[in-house]
Structure 1
Amino acid sequence: MRHAAWPEDSDRITPEDLAREALALAAAAGAERFHFVGTSIGGVIGQQLVSQHADSLLSATLTNTGAVIGTADAWNTRSANVLELGLSVMAVDIVPRWFGPAACEQQPALVEGWRVIMGRGDDRSYALLCELLGRVDFREKLGEHRVPLQLVGGSDDVATPPETLKALAQCSSASDPVILEHVGHVPSVECPDRFSQILLDTLT
């Protein structure tokens, strides 16, 4: 669904646009400072908050993300394909990439449910987010910050493999990422118990 802040003629969304929305949601909830948790593009939002709005954060847990994710060519190609074919078609190939083989085999209804939900999304908004990911590069922006930073990834994540998380750790002065075995791109869905325990350990 298109956000009201993204007009029909908008040709670009930036990490700062999304970070401002996160800050606005926190303000609406009455939180001057907060713990942030974000996966994938949510992790990009977290990196923007860490780099530009550190005073608002108590901590940041970033999962299955990277300072650089994929290549601009790949993201621009996906954006063009989504605009041509639509998310309802593209979701058939995209969603299974988010889950590890264990989840695809043991929880097919879960994967299918995510495919259906993604297929109902707004094509234009998703395309703009793809183009954003093609431009993202936080490698020189996270060297100095005061935010406790926890990184988490999945051993079977093909979208942001463990090496991507390790590279993010190096450029952000974070400790080595926690890599969950037999987990893909969405640990909060694939292994909610293990992921919840990581969050509790981090927050306490």
Structure 2
Amino acid sequence: MQAVSRNGRILNTAFRPARGAAPVLVFSNSLGTDFRIWDDLLARLPDDWGLLRYDTAGHGLSPGGPGMSIDDHGDDLVALLDTYGIEKAVIVGLSVGGLIAQSVAIRHGERVAGLVLSNTGMKIGTPEIWNGRAEAIRAGGMNAIGDATMERWFSRAFREGRPAELLRWRTMLVHTPADSYIALGSAIRDADYRDRAGRISVPTLCIAGSEDSATPPETLRALAAAIPGATCEEIVGVGHLPCIEVPDRVADMVGTLVERVTE
């Protein structure tokens, strides 16, 4: 792991340079998680690919910053590209990471070779949802949203069949600082790319989970329809975090997108 200074903050990263002409992929994680959610997926990707993971500000080992918008988080990602000398990358964004990826692709398209937008949307949720969740956290702490979040994150089969793993991810969630979770949730609440997604001009794959109630398949289909040339694939029987539930399947999808980028 490596720490990168950014506007007086530290971003916790893990970087493996590409070998030869292999592509570089950057992974932007979801709300309430850190970059460990990608571990099983990255273990299934080619050894010569460059891989950059980082903890979003306020999550994992990256301290937060005041009043950050999704575009501010996108600027963090671009700063990491600059730090590691990455001219162009495929960005893999999950949930809010997908919003961050859209922000970068819209405002810094020259730095983006392709996009994998997993379980995200042009707009996620409603103000009522995000404000209500913030109120619940302020009243009862992160534990107050733990069980409901697990129901969004994972399919019933995962929750019932892999209880030890479920507890691991629930622990990650509830250890997220409440103020950081609320801040990033507010940024999600205020982000809306419905009038700008059409500006994205790189190969794009959208991934949906059939049991994802946070960003259901129709949300991903709408996103793919808005981005010229984008495709959408639905994974049956998974929830909001397919990189954890079915890393083999997601690795295959990422590989297919990279082939489009490099052909």
Which bracket does the TM-score occupy, shorter chain normalised?
A: over 0.9
Write 1 or 2 for the structure with the bigger share of helix: 1
3-state secondary structure, aligned to 2:79: helix
Q: Distance in 2 between matches of 1:92 and 1:34?
A: 35
C-alpha deviation, 1:66, in angstroms: 0.5
C-alpha contact 2:92 2:101 (8 A) present in aligned 1: yes
1:152–1:178: 8 Å Cα contact kept in structure 2? Answer: yes
Runs of 4+ in 1 over 4 A off after TM superposition: none
| Alpha-carbon separation, structure 1, partners of 2:64 and 2:213 | 31
Q: 1:13 to 1:84 in 2, by over 3 A?
A: farther
* Identity between Structure 1 and Structure 2 (%): 31
AA of the residue aligned to 2:102: Q
Distance 1:116 1:5, change over 3 A: closer
Check conservation: 1:96, 1:111, Cα contact below 8 A.
no
- Report matched runs for 1:58-137 at 5 Å: 58-137=113-192
Q: CA deviation at 1:146?
A: 2.1
Unaligned runs of 5+ in 1: none
Shift of 1:92: 2.7
Q: Which amino acid aligns with 1:99?
A: F
2:209–2:239 Cα contact (<8 Å) kept: yes
Judge conservation of contact 2:70–2:188 (CA < 8 Å) in 1. Answer: no
Residue of structure 2 in register with 1:35 after alignment: 90
- Partners of 2:199 and 2:185 in 1: how far apart? 28
What's the TM-score once normalised by structure 1's chain length? 0.92
Structure 2 residue matching 1:152: 3-state secondary structure: strand
SS of residue in 2 equivalent to 1:60: strand
Aligned-residue CA RMSD in angstroms? 1.5
TM (norm. structure 2) is 0.72
Deviations 1:93-149 (A, max 9, x none): 212321011211221211111101111111001001111121121010121232111
Does 2:203 match 1:148? yes
- Cα distance in 2 for partners of 1:4, 1:120 equals 14
Contact 1:73/1:134 (<8 A) preserved: no
Q: Which has the higher strand share?
A: 2
Gapped regions of structure 2 (runs ≥ 5): 1-56
Shift in Å, 1:70: 1.3
Q: Pick one of 180, 193, 201 that aligns with 2:248.
A: 193
Q: Which residue of 1 aligns with 2:15?
A: none
